[in-house]
Amino acid sequence: MIAPAVTDGIRRQTGKNPQAELFAQLLNDVAERRDRHAFAQLFEHFGPRLKGFMMRKGANAELAEDLVQDAMIAVWNKAGMFSPGKGSVTTWIYTIARNLRIDRLRREGSRYFTDIDDYEEASDDPASDDVVIGKQQDVAVTEALDVLPDDQREVIVMAFMDDMTQSEIAEKLDVPLGTVKSRMRLAYRKMGSVLEDLR
Amino acid sequence: MNTAFHLDDATVVAYAGGSLSNCLSVVAAGHVAMCDHCRAKVRRAEAVGAALLETSDAQPMKPDALSAVFERIDGSDWVQPMTRSDASDDPDPSLPLPVSRLLDHKLDDVRWKTAGPGVGIHVIEKNDDGSSLYMLKVRPGHKLPDHGHDGQEMTLILRGAYRDEIGRFAPGDVADLDEYIEHQPVIEDGEDCICLIATEAPARFKGLVPRLLQPIVGI
């Protein structure tokens, strides 16, 4: 948890999701001033969550710790590339950690692909259809997830948290692949409309 | 860039969740790099990952984890801070980065292996589980064999265009097909059609000759 005193010290706008604004401010301090105190606060919040996330996806404690360190070093190095209009800090850190983990698995496999998502950072095109997401994003998505029907929430959790492919999910649930896909589509459309409303 | 054919929403979810298979992820990334619409969708789906990360069970880090990170930042593997203007080495800037990274040189310099009359193939990856990633270069007017698949097939058009039962596919379009779909692409007149294709399982060709060719072509 972040100490209340720290939150109080941050400039707030309209009182919307102060946590997301705090993270954006801290990341900005890391980018502009190489602020280690700000980085330590991000580390304190995201380190344990990322570690739990990696372990849920099958990494042992050692590998998870390692991946979290790599992810946080990437956060330090790439802080200047964060673009607040394209999502929250949590989303940005999630994608960094996801890519690092995939990258590591691939390196241990037969062929090694470098970060496939780097284009998002490399090409800074002001695309007209880009989502400009407000500060309330994290809260709204959590609420949308909570109200999904159980069978739709289940496939989302399996895909995001348990690292299962659609075929593996179908096998585990003993349903046809097409059923897994249609549940994912329905879940996406419900949550997608919540996110679009924030534009 | 505006494209006509997009990723299936279920593919967007799997891609954002990091659980789409390697070969399919590369093709999806190639399309996403060329398609504003799907890029926005992937970002939305990634916000779902963020929400799940925030609510996930926290595991305590080792007590010295933060100082270890600062040591690495200060130490030998210190990397210069990156900015958004940094461009990476790109063998062929005319291609989306996730695709050009698969090549050692320009698309025009790829050495195609003959995979039948009018068809060249460049295999990028072929796995024991039957999944594969390859490029096809097909002559204008050529008709590809009618085929289906045991798993998902994803095709990203890089050059030229083709038509099949679904519609006309031009550069940037992706055909994100599941196992129920059988199709027979016909290349448009004018220029060669070059596609990047990922399959979860080998194609099922209908005719005898294509079936005989399959072990040679390797898809």
Report whether pLDDT(A77) > 50. yes
Looking at per-residue confidence, does B183 or B218 come out higher? B183
Give pLDDT, residue B181: 72
Give pLDDT, residue B128: 82
Tell me how many residue pairs between chain A and chain B have CB atoms under 8 A apart: 239
B46/A117 CB distance under 8 A = no
Report yes or no on B46 lying in a domain: no
CATH class of A1-120: mainly alpha
To the nearest whole percent, how much of chain B has pLDDT over 90?
50
Band of residue B77 on the pLDDT scale cut at 50, 70, 90: low
Report yes or no on B31 lying in a domain: no
Report whether pLDDT(A10) > 90. no
CATH 1.10.10.10 residue window(s) in chain A: 136-199
Give pLDDT, residue B169: 95
Report yes or no on B98 lying in a domain: no
B9/A189 CB distance under 8 A = yes
A130/B79 CB distance under 8 A = no
User: Measured between alpha carbons, how far is A32 from B154 in angstroms, rounded to an integer?
Assistant: 41
Top mean pLDDT of A11-25, A131-145, B37-51 is at B37-51
Report whether pLDDT(A85) > 80. no
B69/A76 CB distance under 8 A = yes
Q: Which residue among A98, A113, A166 sits closest to B49, beta carbon to beta carbon?
A: A98
Q: Which of residues 90-119 of B touch A (CB under 8 A)?
A: 96-98, 101-102
Report whether pLDDT(B202) > 80. no
Report yes or no on B121 lying in a domain: yes
Q: What is the ipTM of this complex?
A: 0.82
Report yes or no on B159 lying in a domain: yes
Report yes or no on B169 lying in a domain: yes
Report whether pLDDT(B64) > 70. yes
User: Measured between alpha carbons, how far is A89 from B95 in angstroms, rounded to an integer?
Assistant: 29
CATH 1.10.1740.10 residue window(s) in chain A: 1-120
Lowest average pLDDT, out of A183-197, B45-59, B192-206, goes to: B192-206
| C-alpha distance from residue B2 to each of A187, B16, B30, B35, B209 (Å) | 25, 21, 14, 6, 38
Beta bridge partners of B125: B133
A69/B65 CB distance under 8 A = yes
Give pLDDT, residue A194: 79
A93 CA to centre of own chain: 5
Beta-sheet strand order (sheet of B132-138): B113-114, B119-126, B132-138, B193-199, B153-159, B174-177
For chain B, what is the domain count?
A: 1
At which residue do the structure tokens 């590998």 appear? A63
Domain of residue B152, CATH code? 2.60.120.10
Report whether pLDDT(B134) > 90. yes
Q: Is B141 exposed, middle or buried (0-12, 13-18, 19+ CB in 10 A)?
A: exposed
Q: Is the pTM of this model over 0.95?
A: no
Which residues in B lie closer than 8 A to residue A37 (C-beta atoms)?
Answer: none
Give pLDDT, residue B84: 41
Return all residues near A107 (Cβ < 8 A) that are at least 6 apart. Answer: none
- E strands along B139-216, which residues? 147-149, 153-159, 162-163, 168-169, 174-177, 186-187, 193-199, 203-205
Residue B178, chain A, CB below 8 Å: the answer is yes
Report yes or no on B50 lying in a domain: no
User: Measured between alpha carbons, how far is A135 from B65 in angstroms, rounded to an integer?
Assistant: 30
Q: Which residue among B58, B69, B80 sits closest to A48, beta carbon to beta carbon?
A: B58
**Per CATH, domain A136-199 is 3.60.15.10:** no
A131/B40 CB distance under 8 A = yes
User: Measured between alpha carbons, how far is B17 from A95 in angstroms, rounded to an integer?
Assistant: 9
Q: Which of residues 2-61 of B touch A (CB under 8 A)?
A: 8-10, 12-14, 16-22, 25-26, 29, 32-33, 36-37, 39-41, 43-61
User: Measured between alpha carbons, how far is A138 from A144 in angstroms, rounded to an integer?
Assistant: 10
Summarize pLDDT for B9-48 with one digit per residue, the tens. 999 999 999 999 888 999 999 999 999 899 889 988 999 9
Report whether pLDDT(A11) > 70. no
Provide the residue range defining the domain that includes B151: 105-217
Looking at per-residue confidence, does A115 or B30 come out higher? B30
Return all residues near A149 (Cβ < 8 A) that are at least 6 apart. Answer: none
Give pLDDT, residue A122: 39
Give pLDDT, residue B205: 57
B101/A185 CB distance under 8 A = no
User: Measured between alpha carbons, how far is B169 from B155 in angstroms, rounded to an integer?
Assistant: 10
User: Taking Cα atoms as reference points, which of A45, A39, A67 lies closest to residue A54?
Assistant: A67
Looking at per-residue confidence, does A181 or B147 come out higher? A181
Band of residue B89 on the pLDDT scale cut at 50, 70, 90: low
User: Measured between alpha carbons, how far is B12 from B31 in angstroms, rounded to an integer?
Assistant: 11
Give pLDDT, residue A13: 35
B162 CA to centre of own chain: 18
User: Which residue in B has a C-alpha nearest to residue A192's C-alpha?
Assistant: B44
Give pLDDT, residue A3: 46
Q: Distance from B80 to chain A by nearest Cα, in Å?
A: 7
Q: Which residue among B85, B97, B102 sits closest to A119, beta carbon to beta carbon?
A: B97
- Across A60-71, average pLDDT: 95
Beta bridge partners of B148: B204
Q: Which residue among A47, A78, A141 sits closest to B61, beta carbon to beta carbon?
A: A47
Report whether pLDDT(B216) > 60. no
Report yes or no on B163 lying in a domain: yes
